[in-house]
Amino acid sequence: MSGFLDANILIRYFTNEPPHLADRAAQIIDHTDDLWVTDVALIEAAFVLTRFYQVSRQMTVDHLVAFVQKANISVYGMDKGLVLQALLLCRPSGRVSFADAMVWAAAHQSGKGVVYSLDARFPKDGIEVRDR
């Protein structure tokens, strides 16, 4: 059976806490075909992992990249390759937020390639960032 994953499933899967919920999350993720995840769930999971569980950005990116690469996982409405590129923009430093990375991926996928932002740190790789 296919379905969408909520961020709490991802968080339990990555943290293994609490064990009984982590086991249920692993059962779903590892044994269900055709699972969908939204960019919002990925961003929420990244936020909770880094802020509340104090997981490093690099480890959080590694967890999310490995998860998105799973054969049974699709990112709803977005190209998996672009999502992986976006996540990797977050890895080197705290310069690119997870939310900005997903907006970057959406701009790429849209074919418009333009983002309006007042954030001087917004990733410009392959898109145009305008402030007016």
Is the pLDDT at 121 greater than 90, yes or no? no
User: Is 49 within a domain?
Assistant: yes
Is the pLDDT at 104 greater than 80, yes or no? yes
Rounded to 5°, angle at Cα 26 from 79 and 30: 55
User: Is 124 within a domain?
Assistant: no
Provide the pLDDT for residue 112: 87
Q: Considering the chain, what is the average pLDDT of its residues?
A: 95
Query: What are the tens digits of pLDDT across the range 41-71?
Result: 999 999 999 999 999 999 999 999 999 999 9
User: Is 110 within a domain?
Assistant: no
User: Is 42 within a domain?
Assistant: yes
pLDDT band of 1, cuts 50, 70, 90: low
User: Is 112 within a domain?
Assistant: no
Of all helices (H) and strands (E), which one includes residue 114?
Answer: strand 114-116
User: Residue ranges of the alpha helices (H) in the chain?
Assistant: 7-15, 19-31, 39-51, 57-68, 80-90, 98-110
Question: Can you give the residue range of the structural domain that contains 82?
Answer: 3-93
